[in-house]
């Protein structure tokens, strides 16, 4: 059983890595690269609560949730790639002495924390403050991989630091994250309360040696009555018992299993009220004004976008120009680490919809290139609008010709046009081509800003004003 489990864990970790590698221009060929994000029940339930519907691919998560009351937390023990990584770390970092290992794997009351985190997250999601992605293990791992794959990415150090801390915590208690923090584990644990079978201890054979706890992954106390909400169905205890006192039994009596999850009524109400109040306070902060952030093409209108975005970073991984990066404060508190465009780093490639193709939650709508560029509808997706800063622009302020912006503008007809003026520059008459933006044609791709020779603060800059997804379609009176 141990060997079989390791095989599955290795297989799924490998699959995760392959799917991650494939999330790139030239390699994405319709493969389900977001398979693991889709199979997280937490993402599915969270999105369902906040957006009231989910992408159909996320049904995999619901399917796994539906299987959990019959099979237990098999996802945690056998599939989850983050769990597997932490499992490896735990194995490498574990103490030599068996007694010490047994002590680390005793069931702790602190394991209730993850249920409280789950309550707060789901409650917040239900009221439109979607932060599930911050704590979802797959989103967390994906995000960390994106940060590792793009060195120097803004906020990448935070993601790597968080991951490193979580990795090292495995030295203190094996699979620390899984036992104490993981809200997906909590969700699946709650579901496996109902499991019709479990690890049952034969009191006549048991000598209370404690060896069943030596390799217990979930710290689910097989030495007493097994707490099935914590059990990872790894069967290590059954194999480790020298007296063969432990066995898997279907339909055991109520006393033989522990069906609690350990959340007292007081803790439940306290968390609900306190968490709701905190989240509400944070949420009001987020809703003020019109935040200056440019979203990827195909993004839903901002409130709906925030209802769905898991902050997993898949779009940033797929983007061929690297224009997408995680938001810090510019998208409000609820928008932390959601994707925004930074035209100094890249630009939105005209014939490209890779970010929309990989978004697992539908925060960025599946978009065709035809729909994005508007070749049929004449209504291209507009992520923002370019604005000239004439005080920095060479033909406007310095008596020199330039208009790289017009040259690279990818739309046809070009959204940047020039008017020619004759200007006296130091006693010499010069013909200057001064650029203008046509807001009806500009799609906000930012290539003009990216290519502008005025470095550090370009003379033409894109902001989200005028984005087509905004209610009313921008800042003009139509």
Partner 1 sequence: MTENELQRRMFMKRMGAAAGLAAGTAALGTFFHNRNLVPSGEVAKAVRSYAVPGTESMLAVAEGSDPALAVRAALQELGGIERFVKAGDRVLIKPNCAFDRPAHFGATSSPAVTGEVVRQCVAAGAQVRVIDNPINNPEGCFVKSGLMDAVGSAGGEVWLPSASLFGQVKVGTLRIPEWEALYRPLDWADKLIGIPTVKSHNLCGVSLTMKNWYGLLGGPRNRLHQAIHEVITDLAQFIRPTLVVLDGSRLLVDNGPTGGSPSDVRPGDVVAIGTDQVALDSFGARLLDYAPEDIAYLGMAAKLGLGTMDEAKLRLFKKVRAVS
Q: Which residues contact 6 (CB under 8 A, 6 or more apart)?
A: none
Q: Which of 224, 401, 463, 468 binds partner 1 (CB under 8 A)?
A: 401
Provide the token pair at 417: 């046009």
Which SS3 state, helix, strand or coil, does residue 424 take?
A: strand
Nearer to partner 1, 109 or 413 (CB): 413
For 320, the 3-state DSSP assignment is coil
447 binding partner 1? (CB under 8 A): yes
Which of 48, 158, 263, 404 forms a contact with partner 1 (CB under 8 A)? 404
73-81, 133-141, 160-168, 444-452 -> range binding partner 1 (CB under 8 A): 444-452
Q: Which of 51, 245, 352, 460 binds partner 1 (CB under 8 A)?
A: 352
Residue 139 and residue 312: Cα distance in Å, rounded? 4
Site for partner 1 in 214-253 (CB under 8 A): none
**Is residue 471 reached through a cis peptide bond, with omega within 30 degrees of 0 on the bond before it?**
no
- Write the interaction track for partner 1 spanning residues 15-44; mark x where CB under 8 A is met and - where it is not: ----------xx------------------
Give the distance from CA 450 to its chain's centroid.
27
* CA 91 – CA 175 distance, rounded (Å): 9
Q: Which stretch binds partner 1 (CB under 8 A): 195-203, 211-219, 326-334, 449-457?
A: 449-457
**Alpha carbons 150 and 296: distance in angstroms, whole number:** 18
Query: Coil, helix or strand for 114?
Result: helix
Cβ-based neighbour number of residue 349 at 10 Å: 18
Q: Is 461 helix (H, G, I), strand (E, B) or coil?
A: strand
Radius of gyration of the chain from its Cα atoms, rounded to whole angstroms: 27
Single out the segment in contact with partner 1 by CB under 8 A; choices: 14-22, 183-191, 219-227, 400-408.
Answer: 400-408
Instruction: Compute the least distance from the CB of residue 373 to partner 1, in Å.
Output: 8
Dihedrals φ, ψ of 202, to 5°?
A: -85, 105
50 interacts with partner 1 by CB under 8 A: no
Query: Does the footprint of partner 1 cover residue 455 (CB under 8 A)?
Result: yes
- From 260, 344, 438, 451, residue interacting with partner 1 (rule: CB under 8 A): 451
The H or E element that residue 373 is part of is helix 369-373
Minimum distance between the CB of residue 418 and partner 1, rounded to whole angstroms?
8
> Is residue 467 close enough to count as binding partner 1 by CB under 8 A?
no
- In whole angstroms, how close is the CB of 330 to partner 1 at the nearest point? 25
Does residue 324 belong to the site contacting partner 1 (CB under 8 A)?
Answer: no
Say how far apart CA 181 and CA 283 lie, in whole Å. 23
Dist CA 190 CA 325 (whole Å): 35
Q: Does 409 bind partner 1 (CB under 8 A)?
A: yes
How many chain residues touch partner 1 (CB under 8 A)?
Answer: 31
Question: Applying CB under 8 A, which of residues 107, 112, 403, 464 lies at the interface with partner 1?
Answer: 403
- 363: which 2 tokens? 């925060």
155 contacts partner 1 (rule: CB under 8 A): no
Q: Identify which of residues 65 and 409 has a Cβ nearer to partner 1 in the complex.
A: 409
Q: How many CB atoms lie within 10 A of CB 14?
A: 12
What residues line the site for partner 1 (CB under 8 A)? 25-26, 320-321, 349-352, 375, 394, 400-404, 406-414, 418, 433, 447, 451-453, 455
């Amino acid at each position: 059983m141990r060997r079989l489990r390791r095989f599955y864990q290795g297989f799924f970790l490998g699959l995760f890595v392959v799917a991650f590698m494939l999330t790139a221009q030239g390699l994405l060929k319709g493969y389900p690269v977001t398979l693991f994000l889709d199979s997280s029940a937490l993402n599915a339930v969270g999105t369902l609560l906040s957006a009231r519907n989910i992408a159909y691919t996320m049904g995999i998560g619901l399917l796994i949730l539906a299987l959990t009351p019959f099979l237990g937390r098999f996802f945690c023990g056998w599939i989850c790639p983050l769990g597997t990584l932490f499992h490896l770390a735990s194995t490498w970092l574990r103490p030599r002495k068996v007694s010490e290992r047994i002590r680390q794997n005793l069931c702790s009351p602190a394991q209730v924390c993850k249920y409280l985190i789950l309550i707060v997250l789901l409650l917040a999601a239900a009221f439109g403050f979607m932060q599930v992605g911050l704590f979802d293990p797959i989103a967390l791992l994906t995000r960390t991989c994106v940060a590792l794959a793009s060195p120097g990415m803004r906020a990448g150090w935070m993601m790597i630091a968080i991951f490193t801390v979580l990795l090292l915590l495995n030295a203190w208690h094996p699979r620390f994250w899984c036992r104490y923090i993981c809200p997906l584990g909590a969700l699946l644990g709650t579901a496996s309360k109902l499991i019709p079978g479990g690890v049952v201890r034969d009191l006549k054979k048991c000598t209370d040696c404690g060896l069943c706890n030596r390799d217990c992954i979930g710290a689910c106390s097989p030495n007493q009555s097994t707490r099935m909400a914590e059990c990872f169905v790894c069967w290590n205890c059954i194999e480790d018992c020298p007296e063969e006192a432990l066995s898997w039994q279907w339909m055991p009596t109520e006393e033989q299993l522990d069906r609690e999850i350990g959340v007292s009524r007081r803790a439940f109400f306290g968390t609900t009220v306190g968490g709701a109040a905190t989240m509400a306070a944070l949420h009001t902060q987020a809703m003020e004004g019109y935040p200056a952030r440019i979203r990827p093409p195909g993004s839903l209108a901002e409130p709906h976008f925030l209802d769905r975005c898991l902050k997993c970073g898949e779009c940033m991984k797929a983007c061929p120009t690297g224009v997408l990066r995680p938001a810090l404060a510019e998208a409000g508190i609820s928008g932390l680490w959601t994707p925004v465009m930074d035209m100094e780093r890249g630009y939105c490639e005209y014939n490209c919809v890779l970010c929309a193709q990989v978004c697992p939650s539908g925060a960025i709508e599946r978009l065709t290139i035809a729909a994005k560029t508007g070749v049929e509808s004449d209504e291209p997706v507009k992520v923002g609008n370019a604005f000239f800063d004439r005080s920095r622009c060479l033909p406007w302020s310095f008596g020199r010709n330039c208009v790289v912006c017009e040259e690279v503008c990818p739309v046809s007809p070009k959204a940047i046009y020039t008017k020619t003026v004759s200007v006296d520059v130091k006693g010499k008459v010069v013909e200057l081509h001064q650029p203008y933006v046509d807001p009806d044609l500009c799609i906000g791709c930012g290539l003009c800003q990216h290519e502008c020779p005025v470095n550090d603060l370009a003379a033409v800059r894109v902001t989200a004003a005028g984005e087509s997804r905004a209610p009313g379609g921008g800042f003009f009176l139509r």
